[in-house]
Chains A and B, each alone.
Chain A
Amino acid sequence: MFFWSLVLIAVGIFSSFIYGRSRIKLNSKKQGTKSKSLPTYYAQYVLMWCLFPALIVYFSWAIFQEQIIQNIVISNFEFIEGAVYNEGLLLAEIRNVANNPSFADGKSIEIINAASHYSSLRQISQISFYTSIIIIMLLGALYASQKLKPEFHAQHTIERYIQYILIFCSSVAIFTTIGIVFSLIFESLRFFAEVSIFEFLFSTEWYPFIPIREGQTAAEGSFGAVPIFAGTFLVMVVAMCVAVPLGLLTAIYLAEYASQRVRKTVKPLLEILAGIPTIVYGFFAFVSVAPFVKAFGQSIGIDASPTSALAAGMVMGVMIIPFISSLSDDVINSVPQSLREASLGIGANKAETIKKVILPAALPGIVGAFLLAISRAIGETMIVVVAAGTAPNLTGNPFENVTTVTVQIVVALIGDQEFDNPRTLSAFALGLVLFVITLFLNIIALQIVKRYRERYE
């Protein structure tokens, strides 16, 4: 369906363009006047009217077809009195039988009936999809061809349409933000309907296991996220302890001491460090750093767990080094040369100039870089998923196993996703917290950096 509809649309594009072009030439010849715009613009006009309505139909069909068919199938399903049905499982079963007739053996008659209903609906949908696409394209072309008169300013119209398309492209970013905010808030509200927001924010017990089926005897779950926040904080602090000195000193060395040649070789190497996928850092933490931390802990008499905050944090720090060093490098470079020269001119040496003049001048920008790095560290997922633990643990000891917000989101969404269950929904509440905190940090950081830039420009 996907491929052939693309072919159909491509044919539509091609023929409408040719049609528009020849039609306007014919029309202007008939009237004996020159057209107001070049023939190409009339052709583009027909093309747009042919293409865009068809695309809208195409996408809405692709998005809603399955849902509508499923709803019809379910509403016509012959439910047996007294039996309990799970809608999702039932649908999956019907779809399986419909796609693979060999699965029909041993299934109940209602399911087989529903499956044949499902496949017939799919067929109807396919046929009507193609016909409606063709009709829409023809209608669009017909409408546009009415306008193909030499006195019609096709170019102006086309340019207006192009503006609309460009505006749509730029608003995708806004739609994305709206989508993020709405999906997070909507699912979080469902979560907070079952779990009080005070329990979530201030209680210290995270035990997200809730009886999934009725009658299952399991302990009541509790959703106090404080240990998770504390774990995130601990890992972030460890990461910053590694990244800040290394990143900042590297940036200072590169900006102030290194020769042009060293800069030219080291900067791309640091970019490699920045471009390595985070799962690779996770592997590194898991295979090399975590055993090392465990052995180190044992050698100084601390019982370190195999997945510790220290291992995850250290590797995360390494990941952030290039981030901090390149941002700080920019900031240090934008300190005006005159400040350096003045300081060197009154006899200070380089280290003194850097410590007493450049760093204080660059401080706001550097703080902004740190804030961005913190937001990076908090939102980082794969390193902690692999190298930190999954069990919540309220501790300040970096050798112990802690868990983070991102890990808990992943844990809650791996496996069965039941959207009527607070365990699954808790991922969205945690995501909302994560989103708000990182957004807040970013806005502050960008403000600081912006104000700092303005000061020296």
Chain B
Amino acid sequence: MNNSVAKEKIVSLRKKRSLEDMRFKYYGFTAMCLSLAVLVFLLYTIFSKGYTAFQKTIVLLEVDYNQDVLKLTPDSSDEEMEKGKFFRVKKQAIENFFPNLSKSDIKLVKKLFSINADNEIKDYFLDNPEVINTKQQIWVTAHSDVDQLLKGNSRRDVSEDRRKLNDIQLSYVDQLVEENRVKQVFNNFFFTKADSRHPEIAGVAGSFMGSLFTLFTVFILSFPIAIGASVYLEEFAPKNRITELIEVNISNLAAVPSIVFGLLGLGVLLNVFGLPRSTPLVGGSVLALMTLPTIIIACRASLKAVPPSIKEGALAVGATKTQAVFHHVVPLALPGTLTGTIIGLAQALGETAPLIMIGMIAFIPNIPTGLTEPSAALPVQIYLWVESAERGFQEKSAAAIMVILIFLFMMNAIAVFLRNRFERKW
């Protein structure tokens, strides 16, 4: 009897213990799932907020290229055509479409069209100069407020003073929609234009090029320096205090907050050396210094992975140490170092704070063409758009995030490809 009580106790204790074991396991499982759920939710948020930015709203206008209104003749030179009065043509087209408008209403209706509409009417004309004195059906870009309304991003059921479009404008938009004069097409501006104050014509081309130039600078500076440093530390450095100092330095530098590197760029590169502000050259230099420790650590790992027998073989047949290292060890480690560099570049691509410090936050409405021209960068562009009060910029920022994530994904894919393709198992 005593025996069975003890047995029962043991069984219940064991049950309790194994229950505890189960519970602990599920805590871990839940934690893991929660972390992954946040990742999914994050990506979902970006996609759901951003996919609409890849479309823009365009409106069909019947434009009368009357030569008197344009103040042009059929034999006008190209230069004269550039200066044609296209805004008057647009105004006339609007008036023709909505007859009997009062002056104040014309102003309201004009605000339904993008500021770029004049240019589109003009470009169409410059491409086809023979349309002078004819009527043409032209699709022009709608204003961001109309765009947001039709995409359902801004609501129409709130009171008038909290809306961008008032009741009169809404009725005109509805009229346009009813007559099938509005449609949504692929937003080419998003990929071909630089930043703008007007959301409907703002794009990522400028900041994308800026990021490319910046990354180019980072690569040019950090790759050779990182290889040199890691070859020295791994193969040549004597074991002394200076070497130890360098190693401690590198590992501490890897953990310095990025914003401090921005202060370094501002205090030294801009103020002491007087390099040009807001340029990919300075941004790239700062990011190169920042990613250098990461790349050095990766390069050293791949140098370490080359078996010593390779070097010893070279030394045995009479190569000097420099020859053994540079002719045999470094080429074998090169894929690994490239992989590490690409991962470092991916880190540099997403870095925002140092670039803000050195002035890459300035509003740059054109696409940069060189390293020493003021330019934006993708992450800073996202920051500018997130901070912007204009509703149309929110979807742009999410779409720009998609662009940067795809860019990052491709860089990592290249790194993985390099590793799988060229990495040798010894």
Contact = CB atoms under 8 A, between A and B. Distances in A.
Contacts of B21: 349-352
B341 interface: no
B45 A352 contact: no
Interface string B340-359: 00000011011111001100
Size bin of chain B's contact surface = 35 or more
Contacts of A355: 24
A269 B39 contact: yes
A278 B353 CA distance: 9
Interface in B231-251: 231-233, 236-237, 245-246, 249-251
Interface string A94-133: 0000000000000000000000000000000000000000
Contacts, number: 261
Given A249-B31, A276-B405, A184 B232 contact: no
* Residue among B250, B349, B386 facing the most chain A CB atoms (10 A cut-off): B386
Given A282-B386, A386-B386, A169 B31 contact: no
Interface string B32-47: 1011101101100110
B224 interface: yes
A171 B263 contact: no
Given A406-B257, A413-B356, A288 B41 contact: yes
Given A386-B383, A427-B263, A431-B259, A273 B408 contact: no
Contact of A409 (B32, B35, B259): B259
B260 A435 contact: yes
Interface stretch (A217-225, A334-342, A374-382): A374-382
B426 interface: no
Contact of A413 (B29, B237, B266): B266
B237 A170 contact: yes
Interface residues of A, number: 96
Contact of B356 (A250, A375, A414): A414
Interface stretch (A73-81, A134-142, A196-204, A436-444): A436-444
A173 B292 contact: yes
B70 interface: no
A333 B120 CA distance: 63
A166 B236 contact: yes
Interface of B: 17-18, 20-21, 23-25, 27-32, 34-36, 38-39, 41-42, 45-46, 49, 224-229, 231-233, 236-237, 245-246, 249-253, 255-261, 263-264, 266-268, 271-275, 289, 292-293, 296, 320-322, 326, 346-347, 349-353, 356-357, 361, 370-372, 379, 382-383, 386-387, 394, 397-398, 401, 404-405, 408, 412
Given A245-B31, A349-B18, 17 more contacts: A170-B232, A173-B253, A174-B245, A182-B268, A183-B263, A246-B31, A246-B34, A247-B31, A249-B27, A258-B32, A276-B405, A278-B352, A279-B379, A284-B46, A349-B20, A410-B259, A414-B356
